[in-house]
Structure 1
């Protein structure tokens, strides 16, 4: 095989969106085989963790009787265990036991229309969290429910899928790459010119896709949660798809989006959701306590303001100014 390094770009459909893989490798690499393995990696995640596939392992778990151990694949156990850890570390702000809320508000597979009458009959606030009701056995790849639970992994599965893309490329010996599913990205190494990968941060505007800024990424992952992709309008009020476990209803706070940089995209994904739920005060506070890298974008009338946490240190609050969208970034 040639030792000349070339840039490759592969992509495909997954999880209702698309995955991408940009990487540098020797000329002549079997891109058909790499593409096949990438597709298999994300299909395996979707098959195990999708709320939208009736035969997924997640839906099998949701339908399983309480108090009985259920054997599941290692990938699902890994994600469930991580979800419970982030839930505990965020004081319950991240909770995967919100599937009934997601469905009740019209964001689930049924996509029923939500009305003011339906809002009044939504599931009650008093509910058991996944941390309290789910037992995960990592050694035996088993899980048990102490009580009825309707789990939803949309706040963490996509990030795990990105990590699986990364693992797939590394299995081919590829160590310089940028992989992503929609806006969740993970990078490793530097490009041949010794420059890091450049990732675009989306401006959190409903109904439009614009670049707000860019971030250099190397040996890290980034994920964003926000109120601008999926929402419903009921009685003149808009409700985003992220559920607040404390209220049993869609999240409503001044945050438009939260982006988190972490070692894995799974953790970045889960923490972006957790910090979004915690809000504009408790979110930055916890990010500082945990030494995180996070960007909080707040609604400020028709504009946005940003709170940036780098290595747990609060940076100056800045008012958003749009950048030139022609900026050359690998991902948008």
Structure 2
């Protein structure tokens, strides 16, 4: 017969063993979610215990948020809030959601900062060159991609649609001049106090260069509100990360580089609670007579920008502005872009074409993110 002391020790041992198993079962792990939105894919990786923050629940909330962004800001949906504004009466205030007014105002800030090199009303030129929603009703419904989505992220049927619908001939100088006449950020007023937007000219606001990043920010904010602090949210290559991973290491993100040699990124940066956005001349383009024409349109010239700059990556506090700044720098080029980045304290990594291949240059604010040399 077992003694009382032995029984007591056995019970205590079993309780300790059970507590150990419970502690192991509650250890934080990484959960993964994937889906489709804005004509591309999204992924969410977050830290949670096995029995908390169900992946199905988080995905449902993310899908609802992203669908709301599309309904509000997409130029590929004729009934979106943005498209209703683009058809609104000239000079008459348009009552809009605070989210749309806020994002238009943030776009206007960057438009003013760049003196219109980045212009939120570039839509007519984007449409003219075949990168916009002019024929959105003819596109495969689930794959109407934003201008910054890479070909490898688009469904095959959308790539087929692009090949058929990109212009076989270039727009005439007269067409370009007519489209440029409808571009001018200064004709858009965002009244954030009264949640109103006003067009003082027949301009077309296009948020494609910022809305995808805004979607990432919205999902990241949702995770934070759910008590999830360690995460990585990505939509079409634009990324926001939170606190470090469960093992205490920061999130490491690859800047692939335009050469795309194999699958090895050209540069890896370690980030905590920051955003990374990338734009490049290889991401979306068409060819006519062997000449490539990029989706990045220069509002000043009315033509696609296919200069020396091949790619730019921007690190920022939020993805929306990083997304827009990456587009701005692609238009400015590496030399003028570097000057602006240093003047404004923006962390930017520029990759440009040379006769020998590619070279890179970094703004002062980006240098701390470079890997430490041993």
TM-score, structure 2 length as denominator?
A: 0.79
SS at match of 2:124: helix
Does the alignment pair 1:33 with 2:33? no
User: Partners in 1 of 2:51 and 2:368 — Cα distance?
Assistant: 47
Match of 2:171 among 109, 115, 118: 118
Match of 2:67 in 1: 43
Specify whether residues 16 and 126 from structure 1 end up closer, same or farther in structure 2 by C-alpha distance, changes over 3 A only. closer
Greater helix share, structure number: 2
Match of 2:363 in 1: 309
Match of 2:9 in 1: none
Match of 1:189 in 2: 243
For residues 96-152 of structure 1, the C-alpha deviation after alignment (integer angstroms, 9 at most, x for no partner) is 111111111111222643244534443317536543100111122110100001121
Does the alignment pair 1:8 with 2:5? no
Alpha-carbon offset, residue 189 of structure 1: 0.8
SS at match of 2:176: coil
Match of 1:162 in 2: 216
Q: Is the 8 A contact 2:269 2:369 kept in 1?
A: no
More displaced stretch, 113-122 vs 213-222? 113-122
For residues 201-251 of structure 1, the C-alpha deviation after alignment (integer angstroms, 9 at most, x for no partner) is 122248987622211111110101111111111232111001101101111
Match of 1:249 in 2: 303
Alpha-carbon offset, residue 37 of structure 1: 0.5
Match of 2:141 in 1: none
Q: Is the 8 A contact 1:23 1:177 kept in 2?
A: yes
Does the alignment pair 1:275 with 2:329? yes
Greater strand share, structure number: 1
User: Partners in 2 of 1:130 and 1:187 — Cα distance?
Assistant: 34
Does the alignment pair 1:292 with 2:346? yes
Match of 1:101 among 125, 129, 141: 125
More displaced stretch, 230-239 vs 305-314? 305-314
More displaced stretch, 271-280 vs 261-270? 271-280
Any unmatched runs of 5+ in structure 1? Answer: 317-332
Match of 2:94 in 1: 70
User: Partners in 1 of 2:228 and 2:203 — Cα distance?
Assistant: 40
User: Partners in 2 of 1:193 and 1:257 — Cα distance?
Assistant: 32
Specify whether residues 207 and 195 from structure 1 end up closer, same or farther in structure 2 by C-alpha distance, changes over 3 A only. closer
Specify whether residues 126 and 118 from structure 1 end up closer, same or farther in structure 2 by C-alpha distance, changes over 3 A only. closer
For residues 70-105 of structure 1, the C-alpha deviation after alignment (integer angstroms, 9 at most, x for no partner) is 112222111101000011112212111111111111
Specify whether residues 247 and 315 from structure 1 end up closer, same or farther in structure 2 by C-alpha distance, changes over 3 A only. farther
SS at match of 1:122: helix
- Pairwise CA RMSD: 2.3
Which entry has the higher C-alpha Rg, 1 or 2? 2
User: Partners in 2 of 1:37 and 1:167 — Cα distance?
Assistant: 11
Q: Is the 8 A contact 1:307 1:314 kept in 2?
A: no
Match of 2:108 among 60, 84, 97: 84
Any unmatched runs of 5+ in structure 2? Answer: 1-21, 136-161
Specify whether residues 48 and 239 from structure 1 end up closer, same or farther in structure 2 by C-alpha distance, changes over 3 A only. same
SS at match of 1:239: strand
Q: Is the 8 A contact 1:72 1:143 kept in 2?
A: yes
User: Partners in 2 of 1:273 and 1:230 — Cα distance?
Assistant: 13
User: Partners in 2 of 1:216 and 1:128 — Cα distance?
Assistant: 42
Specify whether residues 206 and 72 from structure 1 end up closer, same or farther in structure 2 by C-alpha distance, changes over 3 A only. farther
Does the alignment pair 1:225 with 2:279? yes
User: Partners in 2 of 1:141 and 1:150 — Cα distance?
Assistant: 19
Aligned residues: 316
Q: Is the 8 A contact 1:70 1:142 kept in 2?
A: yes
Does the alignment pair 1:149 with 2:173? no
Match of 1:174 among 228, 233, 257: 228
SS at match of 1:55: coil
